[in-house]
Amino acid sequence: MPETRVVARQINTEQVVGYTLRDSRYLNITNRCSLRCAFCPKFNDQWTVQDYPLRLEHEPTIEEIIAAVGKPEDYREIVFCGLGEPTLRLYALLEVATRLRHRARRIRINTDGLANLVYGRDVTPDMEGLIDALSVSLNAQNAEIYNLHCRPKLPGSWEAMLDFVKHARDFVPEITLTAIDGLSGVDIAACEKIAQRLGVGFRRRVLDVVG
Ligand code: SF4
């Protein structure tokens, strides 16, 4: 789910857990996903994003993630986003957010919005007071196109993602749905209308630009 331009870069001979894009610090905490997006770099044998090799040898511990942040106050925001779905490590993510909360200006999760489906409960109240923003991959205006491009592991994923957004509105101040312009059958205007109907923001992404 990564995107944007690199301004600062940290050369790391070990696995890349923290990486900087523009003025934000990104955290790569898992390579696991609840989707198998056909357009995903990792399913095309490409693990390097903006020169950062994001393949993990092991999932970083909470301490390793905190160390990878560096100084949170130096960044405009801390973003949980790597080549994987961060909420698959929800409890580690929440613990890291708790520890960073008093120092980070803003904490965001880039997510597929399937956490409620995966955990079998509404996890959005857990984010209250910890997570400032969610970027949720809407990716398509209907389940058919979504399934074509995102190849979800769990049935009902597109509907569950929308339901997640509805619940999250009560606990996370800023929510933005995203869709990638350039994928066949994806109607960006229709995606934007869905966001409007839900009362959340929308951002059009460009294929092969991570973030
Ligand atoms: S959700 Fe992101 S990381 Fe996961 S398969 Fe899709 S594009 Fe790749």
> How does residue 11 score in pLDDT terms, banded at 50, 70 and 90?
very low
Q: What is the pLDDT of residue 43?
A: 84
84 Cβ below 6 A of ligand 1: yes
Nearest protein Cα to ligand 1, atom 7: 40
Query: 32 CA to middle of ligand 1, Å?
Result: 9
Query: 34 CA to middle of ligand 1, Å?
Result: 8
Lowest mean pLDDT among 4-8, 67-71, 185-189: 4-8
Nearest-atom index, ligand 1, CA of 36? 5
Q: What is the average per-residue pLDDT within 26-49?
A: 93
User: Which of 187, 108, 103 shows the shortest CA–CA distance to 141?
Assistant: 187
Q: What is the pLDDT of residue 50?
A: 85
Q: What is the pLDDT of residue 208?
A: 64
Query: 180 CA to middle of ligand 1, Å?
Result: 12
What pLDDT, in 10s, does the model give residues 160-204? 999 999 999 999 999 999 999 999 999 999 999 999 999 999 999
Q: What is the pLDDT of residue 178?
A: 98
Strands 133-137, 174-181: parallel, antiparallel or unpaired by DSSP? parallel
pLDDT > 90: what percent of the chain?
85
Query: 123 CA to middle of ligand 1, Å?
Result: 20
Domains, the chain: 18-206 (3.20.20.70)
Nearest protein Cα to ligand 1, atom 2: 1
Q: What is the pLDDT of residue 211?
A: 55
83 Cβ below 6 A of ligand 1: yes
1 Cβ below 6 A of ligand 1: yes
Contact 186, 145 (CB under 8 A): yes
Q: What is the average per-residue pLDDT within 64-80?
A: 97
Q: What is the average per-residue pLDDT within 132-150?
A: 98
3 Cβ below 6 A of ligand 1: no
pLDDT tops 50 at residue 133: yes
pLDDT tops 90 at residue 140: yes
DSSP 73-138: GGSSEEEE-BSB-GGGGHHHHHHHHHHHTTT-S-EEEEE-S-HHHHHTS--GGGGTTT--EEEEE-
33 Cβ below 6 A of ligand 1: yes
What pLDDT, in 10s, does the model give residues 90-119? 999 999 999 999 999 999 999 999 999 999
- Averaged confidence pLDDT in the chain: 92
Nearest protein Cα to ligand 1, atom 1: 35
> How does residue 74 score in pLDDT terms, banded at 50, 70 and 90?
very high
Q: What is the pLDDT of residue 10?
A: 43
Q: What is the pLDDT of residue 1?
A: 53
User: Which of 191, 145, 205, 166 shows the shortest CA–CA distance to 1?
Assistant: 205
112 Cβ below 6 A of ligand 1: yes
Q: What is the pLDDT of residue 44?
A: 83
Nearest protein Cα to ligand 1, atom 8: 40
